């Protein structure tokens, strides 16, 4: 759920940022576009870590294992699919 | 029957490696990158297929010992680690190639316009006295990067010259930019790559890449 929401959010921000010219607004050594996307990605990663901690604290049993594996898969998916926002070109 | 198949299948497979609409018979840097990635994926897919077939054969030949499940090997290494590494490698190479293909301004750049219609293409190329309009034939200089500003007049079409670059959608009300380049002068076939109605099959066009003198002559209006 978090991954699907995050991926859609990054996708939407990419479109809005390019259309709004955020990549031409210099900000703290990069651009507003880069900071907006990288910041969102970092928040999503932190959210996934928080979900993992919550799953970790759950009572032992099948549900705990399922929750942990799901949270780990979500965190990995967010890390991999969001990583390009750091390095790839902003708007062609 | 088997003999016919034995002849027809290799001929069909080999036939895809060349020809006017073959992505593997690349004639420019962008298409070459796409073809390289395709060959790498084919090599990887072949290796993995052989591995799976070998494992399948092994399952018939060798019985597991009592209590031996191999869950860590099957799920951990072959089910998660291996696909993970393969997909990450593919993602990485796709990102690198994508960066290289992005339409960026550079010296010697030529900008042309392509507009898809049901069922023809209108092109506009820079001429000595203003833009030169052509139908179903796009003129470009060879050995120089060309940005094609792609649009559509009615429905969504797809601009695709397989030997020069990848595909790009032509969308009504929106301009997409595709970078193409022909390494040598020549004639290259193009095909609409997005179903656009009854005559989609016949929605073809041609790209003529001129040498320096030919391009200068075309820009003066002395083209073929």
Instruction: Note the pLDDT tens digit of each residue in A31-75.
Output: 898 999 999 999 999 999 999 999 888 888 888 999 899 999 999
φ/ψ of residue B208, rounded to 5: -105, 120
- Inter-chain contact A89–B102, Cβ cutoff 8 Å? yes
* Chain B partners within 8 Å of A84 (Cβ): 95
Task: Write down the pLDDT at residue B224.
Answer: 60
Domain boundary pick from B49, B70, B101: B101
* Chain B partners within 8 Å of A87 (Cβ): 95
Q: Within a domain: residue B128? A: yes
Task: Name the 3-class secondary structure at B154.
Answer: coil
pLDDT bucket at A92, cuts 50 / 70 / 90: low
If asked whether residues B182 and B121 sit together in one domain, one would say: yes
Q: At how many degrees (to 10) do helices A32-56 and A2-20 cross? A: 170
Q: Within a domain: residue B224? A: no
- Inter-chain contact A92–B104, Cβ cutoff 8 Å? yes
Q: Within a domain: residue B142? A: yes
If asked whether residues B89 and B117 sit together in one domain, one would say: no
Task: Write down the pLDDT at residue A12.
Answer: 93
- Which of B140, B115, B116, B137 is CA-nearest to residue B126? B140
What residue of B is the nearest CA neighbor of A76?
A: B84
Task: Write down the pLDDT at residue B197.
Answer: 95
ipTM associated with this complex: 0.74
**Residues B146/B140, Cβ–Cβ less than 8 Å:** yes
Task: Write down the pLDDT at residue B35.
Answer: 92
* Chain B partners within 8 Å of A89 (Cβ): 99, 102
If asked whether residues B21 and B94 sit together in one domain, one would say: yes
If asked whether residues B116 and B215 sit together in one domain, one would say: yes
If asked whether residues B69 and B152 sit together in one domain, one would say: no
What residue of A is the nearest CA neighbor of B98?
A: A88
- Inter-chain contact B103–A92, Cβ cutoff 8 Å? yes
DSSP category for residue B105? -
Task: Write down the pLDDT at residue B12.
Answer: 66
User: What are B113's strand-pairing partners?
Assistant: B124, B149
Name residues 33-92 of chain A within 8 A of B (Cβ).
80, 84, 87-89, 92
Domain boundary pick from B101, B133, B162: B101
- Which of B224, B210, B168 is CA-nearest to residue B191? B168
If asked whether residues B124 and B214 sit together in one domain, one would say: yes
CA A61 to chain B, closest CA, distance in angstroms equals 20
- Domains in chain A: boundaries: 2-86
Domain boundary pick from B69, B101, B133: B101
If asked whether residues B86 and B114 sit together in one domain, one would say: no
Task: Write down the pLDDT at residue B223.
Answer: 62
Q: Within a domain: residue B19? A: yes
pLDDT bucket at A29, cuts 50 / 70 / 90: confident
Average pLDDT, chain A: 89
> What whole-number distance in Å separates Cα of residue B224 and Cα of residue B217?
9
> What whole-number distance in Å separates Cα of residue B76 and Cα of residue B219?
62
* Chain A partners within 8 Å of B166 (Cβ): none
Task: Write down the pLDDT at residue B157.
Answer: 98
Q: What is the pLDDT of residues A70-81, one digit of tens each?
A: 999 999 999 998
- Which of B106, B109, B124, B126 is CA-nearest to residue B215? B126
If asked whether residues B213 and B178 sit together in one domain, one would say: yes
**Each residue's pLDDT tens digit in chain B (224 positions)?**
677 777 777 776 666 677 788 888 899 998 999 899 899 889 989 988 998 899 889 888 887 777 777 777 788 888 888 888 888 888 888 888 888 888 888 888 999 999 999 999 999 999 999 999 999 999 999 999 999 999 999 999 999 999 999 999 999 999 999 999 999 999 999 999 999 999 999 999 999 999 999 999 999 988 66
If asked whether residues B96 and B116 sit together in one domain, one would say: no
What residue of B is the nearest CA neighbor of A79?
A: B88
- Inter-chain contact A92–B102, Cβ cutoff 8 Å? yes
If asked whether residues B147 and B119 sit together in one domain, one would say: yes
φ/ψ of residue B127, rounded to 5: -120, 175
CA-based radius of gyration for chain A: 16
If asked whether residues B79 and B116 sit together in one domain, one would say: no
Name residues 174-193 of chain B within 8 A of A (Cβ).
177
Number of domains making up chain B? 2
Structural domain boundaries enclosing B119: 110-219
> What whole-number distance in Å separates Cα of residue B161 and Cα of residue B111?
16
CA A87 to chain B, closest CA, distance in angstroms equals 10
Task: Write down the pLDDT at residue B182.
Answer: 95
Better pLDDT: A3 or B8: A3
Task: Write down the pLDDT at residue A87.
Answer: 82
- CATH number (domain holding residue B123): 2.60.40.420
């Amino acid at each position: 759920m978090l991954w699907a929401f995050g991926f859609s959010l990054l996708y939407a921000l990419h479109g809005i940022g390019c259309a709004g010219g955020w990549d031409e607004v210099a900000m703290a050594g990069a651009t507003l576009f880069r900071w907006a996307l990288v910041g969102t990605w970092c928040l999503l990663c932190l959210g996934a870590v928080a979900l993992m901690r919550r799953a970790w604290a759950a009572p032992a049993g099948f549900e705990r294992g399922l929750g942990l594996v799901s949270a780990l898969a979500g965190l990995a998916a967010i890390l991999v699919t969001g990583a390009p926002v750091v390095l790839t070109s902003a708007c062609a | 029957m088997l003999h016919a198949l034995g002849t027809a299948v290799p001929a069909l497979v080999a036939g895809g490696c060349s020809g006017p609409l073959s992505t593997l018979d690349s004639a420019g840097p962008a298409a070459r990158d796409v073809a390289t990635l395709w060959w790498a994926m084919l090599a990887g897919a072949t290796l993995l297929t052989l591995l799976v077939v070998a494992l399948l054969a092994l399952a018939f030949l060798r019985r597991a010992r009592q209590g031996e499940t191999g869950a860590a090997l099957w799920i951990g290494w072959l089910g998660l680690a291996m696909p993970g590494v393969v997909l990450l490698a593919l993602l990485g190479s796709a990102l690198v190639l994508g960066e290289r293909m992005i339409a960026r301004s550079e010296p010697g750049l030529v900008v042309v316009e392509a507009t898809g219609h049901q069922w023809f293409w209108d092109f506009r190329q820079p001429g000595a006295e203003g833009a030169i309009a052509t139908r179903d034939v796009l003129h470009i200089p060879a050995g120089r990067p060309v940005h094609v500003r792609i649009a559509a007049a009615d429905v969504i079409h797809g601009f695709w010259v397989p030997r020069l670059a990848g595909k790009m959608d032509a969308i009504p009300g929106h301009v997409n930019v595709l970078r193409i380049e022909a390494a040598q002068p020549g004639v290259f076939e193009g095909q609409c790559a997005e179903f656009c109605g009854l005559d989609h099959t016949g929605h073809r066009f041609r790209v003529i890449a001129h040498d320096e003198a030919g391009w200068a002559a075309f820009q003066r209006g002395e083209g073929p």
